[in-house]
Every structure is written in structure tokens, then in C-alpha cells.
Structure 1
Amino acid sequence: MDRGGCQMSGGGGGGGGGNGMITLEDLESFAEDQLSDSGNGSLEEEGETMEADDTSNRMLHYWQEVARGHQVEVSQDMAEPIQQLSSNNQGRSQREHVPFTLLMRKEKCGEVLFEKRHYEKGHWACITMREDTYEQSICYGFMKIMRYICQQNSISDYLGMTLPILTVVRTDENHSVLSRDVTVAYYLPLEHQDQPPQPYDNEIILEVWPATTVFTRAFTGPTNEVTIINQISAMAELLDSPGVCVNDSFIVAGYTNPAHNNRQNEIWFLERR
């Protein structure tokens, strides 16, 4: 797992004011809470059903509005992937979680300080971005992954959503500065692990990540350059022997919409092989 890492929910905080990153849960919330209204009244009251292209355009405009807070442009050709991702993932039960085995949990006064987990070998779709900010890299990387998930692949079919979305971040030896290279990674659903569909986008690389042991610590709130550095430092202090872990590459795992007040993330340290 030396490179790769993918985060659906990788932003917030940083120069974006109160806006959060564009995510699947943003879309679901939008679909449930806002698409029920059309103009001055509900569609139900008007006795009509919103046309699919109108729904798609409204979702696209919503993404565009959220993304502007992070100086990210969402192009018109994202309308169809956004619509597909939303319509195929209504509710968390539709999302497959990356399987792992819990090896150890360290607690203090009933609080989980960190966990040690084992992840088996698996196929991941990865893309490395180098934008001006971490948030921009996450946004543009995830949009490319979205296109792959939503039919821009060799089987021309929707592949299914998995969690967490990971991002691999790299630091200097003092853990004080993040590299501009950020790798976004998406775990292929189990039904596609044996024969992963090929991406149309040649920037997306299908990689087999070897079986890996990680130390993980949960945290809530935004994931930006400052919070990631802080979380790396906090995790290093908790580990009895931080030297057993890779020292310059870390993973941020995102589980929930970062616009949410209580967003759920993890920082992962990789055990040296």
C-alpha cells in the first residue's frame, strides 16, 4: 500500500469558508431535502415528475456551488456521473466497506485511542494529483474516479460505491509539510476484484495493494493540510513504538460527508514490512 489512497470525503476547513467538499452524501442530502421542491411549489403539488435531465442539471449546479468554495471547477460532463452516483446509492446499505480483521484495540477510560487492523491484498483504482491545494487535488481526483465508477470503464456499467475512500499523503521527515502529490484510491467492490474493469482514463491506474497492517485513529472534523499534520502528530504520540511504521507516507480515510458537523475520518499509519 505504498501509494494510493482515496478520499470521497476529503475537505472542508481550509480556504473554503463554510462549504464542504463535494461528496456522495452531499448528493443524497440534496436529493432528499432539496430536489423535492421545484420553483415555488413541490413537484407533487404541481402533479408532475421532474425530468431526469432537469434533476441532473440541478445536482450539477449544486456541486458547482459547493466546489467554488475550494476554487474547483466542476465541468458539464460531470452531470451524468453525479446523477448515477446519487441514484445508485440511496442509503448507506448500498455501500460496501473495505474488509479488514481487527488485531488489537487500545483504550483508555473507555475511549478508543487507536486500533491495529489487517487488510488483505486487493485491487484499487488510484490516481495521483498535484494541484495547488490538498482540497483541489482531492476534488479533481475523486471526480475522475467517479467517472470510472459510473460507466467510463470497459464493461460500461456502474461499479458500485465502497468506503472508506482513501488518500495517501506524503510528508517531510519532520511531519511538518505535506507534499503536493496526493493519491486518491477507490477499492473495487468484491464482485470486481478478480477481474477489475479497465478505466477509460489512462491517468487512473489499477493497482494490487499487498496485504497490509495499519494503525488507525478516528477523528472528526475537516481534513485539510493543517488538520492532517495535527492528526499525524497526535497518532505518533500515542504509539508505543512509532518506528515500526512507515515514516513519510500516511493515509486519510473518509467515511462521511465533510460538510457534516460530525464528519468521521481516520488517520492510518502503515506498519513497515
Structure 2
Amino acid sequence: MFGMIRNALFGTTEVWPCRVLSKGEKNDVVYEEREYDGGKFATVELTGKPFDEALREAVLKLLKYVGGSNEQGAGMGMTAPVCTTVFPGDDGSLQQKVKVLLRIPSQFQASPPLPSDESIQIEDREGMAVYSTHFGGYAKEVDYVNYAAKLSSTLGNEATYHKDLYFCNGYDPPMKPYGRRNEVWLLKK
């Protein structure tokens, strides 16, 4: 637990490497097209809980893992964003199923320590291309749903992306009150 707190307060945050392919703005929505590198990720999948509750639970597990709750007792440092895969229903609301991803820091990519918590899996994921928009504040489910709808509407029929899932991303620790960064990513086809 101390490792997790030390990591959050004093550690550096490594940002998931990406390349910006293009930028746009339409109807007051600013967006980017980006390519993200693949790599190894710690993941937690939860079902049967509302988004905000499931996200808090999964993030706590992942923070403990990178904070030292692993086979090596290694405090690995934090990465950003915390990326949550969500699955919208036909009405746009989110199903009670999330998969939260945290990219393993670069120095541990080749051989990540095994998690002590069996609900955490280590996955090797391919790179991906997304359409992204950002917003501030302490993000909740309603904010992500709203910005996903705005981005989708802005892109219209000009872009092809998956409609059965998208990503909700948070970049900041909970104790950061101002200048917060959240993003919604639509996965390109």
C-alpha cells in the first residue's frame, strides 16, 4: 500500500507513446487522429457493476500492482492514461462491463512482474489507431458518454470506427484538483 501511495505522490508518470496523424475541429469539438504503440498491459475485467464503481475498483487493483504488489515487489512507476474499454448499449448508455488497461512501464515491458492479484492479467496488445477528444474535470460515466456522442456526431460518416466499444481515459491522479485531462477514443477500423 505504501508503494502505491509513494508512486502516486512522488513517482513520475510515463505517457503511452503515440503519434498524432491529424487534427480537426468541427461544431466546437476538437479532435485528433492518433496511432498508439502496442505493448504489454496489466488488465482487469469487471462485470455486473456500474461504470464508476467498476472503474474505481479496477484502478485500485492496478495501482497496487504497479506500486509493488507483484512477485518481485517492484514499484514500477505509473503510466498514463488509465484506459477503460466500455461497451455501449443500443441507447448509448454503458453496459455493466469494463476492461481497464494500464500500460506496463517501458523498463518492465520485456518481462513484467507477475501480479499478486489473480484478477489482474498481463496482455500483449497490438498498436491501434483512434479518434480522440479531450475534456477536463473529474470524469464520470455521464461525461464519457456525452463526449463519445459528441465525437461520433462530429466525425459523422467521414470516418470509420468501431461502434460496439470505445475507450474512456484518465491521465491524472485523484488528488490533482485542476488542469485534469480526460479523453474518449473511438477505435478506427
Quick check: 1:113–1:217 contact (8 Å CA) kept in 2? yes
Matches of 1:151 and 1:222, distance apart in 2: 26
User: 1:83-117: CA deviations, max 9, x gaps?
Assistant: 3233234457x1111110111111469x7710011
Partner of 2:77: 160
Counterpart AA for 1:208: D
Contact persistence 1:171–1:248 (CA under 8 A): yes
* SS of match in other structure, 1:197: coil
- Counterpart in the other structure of 2:33: 116
Alpha-carbon distance in 1 for matches of 2:80, 2:105 = 10
Distance 2:69 2:10 in 1: 23
TM-score (norm 2): 0.89
Q: 1:86 is aligned with what amino acid?
A: I
1:223 deviates by: 2.4
The CA distance in 2 between the partners of 1:215 and 1:204, in whole Å, is 27
Q: Identity of paired residues, percent?
A: 26
1:39-118 equivalences in 2 (<5 Å):
81=1, 83-90=2-9, 94-107=12-25, 113-118=30-35
Tell me the residue number matched to 1:251. 167
TM-aligned CA deviation for residue 131 of structure 1 = 4.8
TM-score (normalizing by structure 1): 0.63
Aligned partners of 1:187, 1:262: CA distance in 2, in Å?
22
Query: Which AA in structure 1 matches 2:23?
Result: R
Deviations 1:146-194 (A, max 9, x none): 221122212221111011111111111342x211111111110011111
Structure 1 partner of 2:181: 264
Aligned residues: 188
Q: Could you tell me which amino acid in structure 2 is paired with residue 123 of structure 1?
A: K
Following superposition of structure 1 onto structure 2, how do residues 152-231 of structure 1 map, counting pairs within 5 Å?
Answer: 152-175=69-92, 177-231=93-147
Between the aligned partners of 1:118 and 1:105, the Cα distance in structure 2 is: 13
CA change 1:91–1:105 in 2 (3 A) is farther
Taking structure 1 as reference, are residues 238 and 91 closer, same or farther at Cα in structure 2, changes over 3 Å only?
Answer: farther
1: CA distance between counterparts of 2:162 and 2:55? 22
Indicate the residue corresponding to 2:60 in structure 1: 143
The structure that is helix-richer by fraction is 1
Structure showing greater radius of gyration is 1
Matched residues in 1 for 2:144 and 2:158: separation?
A: 17
Letter in 2 for 1:271: K
Distance in 1 of aligned mates of 2:32 and 2:174: 22
Taking only aligned residues, the RMSD between alpha carbons, in angstroms, comes to: 2.2
Gaps of 5+ in 1: 1-80
> Is the partner of 2:165 in helix, strand or coil?
strand
Q: What letter is aligned with 1:148?
A: Y
Question: SS of the residue aligned with 1:139?
Answer: helix
- Larger mean CA deviation between 220-229 and 201-210 belongs to 220-229
The gaps in structure 2 that reach 5 residues or longer are none
Paired AA for residue 84 in structure 1: G
| Residues 48 and 96, structure 2, Cα contact 8 Å, conserved in 1 | yes
Any idea what the Cα deviations from partners look like across 1:31-87, whole Å, max 9, x if unmatched? xxxxxxxxxxxxxxxxxxxxxxxxxxxxxxxxxxxxxxxxxxxxxxxxxx2x32332
The CA deviation at 1:263 is 2.6
